[in-house]
Amino acid sequence: MAPEAHTSLFFLSVAAIVPLAALLSRATESVAAKTGDAVGGLLNATLGNMTELIITLAAL
């Protein structure tokens, strides 16, 4: 890959994360609404930071 393409690849990847984070949030909220308060809160706490966890693992 040409070095000048790295910048555009980075910004396209960042732009792709935004809708994926929204989709993950919506899916988590949907499951939490059907499972009750205790399980829903646990799911939100666990999966709420999934996007950040994936970015961190990819950066390592």
Tens digits of pLDDT across the chain (60 residues): 788 889 898 899 888 888 988 888 888 888 888 888 888 888 888 887 887 888 888 887
Residue 12 lies in a domain: no
- Residue position matching structure tokens 């994926």: 20
Residue 57 lies in a domain: yes
According to the model, what pLDDT value does residue 51 have?
78
Joined tokens for residue 20: 């994926």
Residue 50 lies in a domain: yes
Residue 4 lies in a domain: no
Residue 7 lies in a domain: no
Global pTM reads: 0.66
What are the distances in angstroms from CA 34 to CA 19, 23, 44, 46?
23, 17, 13, 16
Residue 45 lies in a domain: yes
According to the model, what pLDDT value does residue 57 have?
86
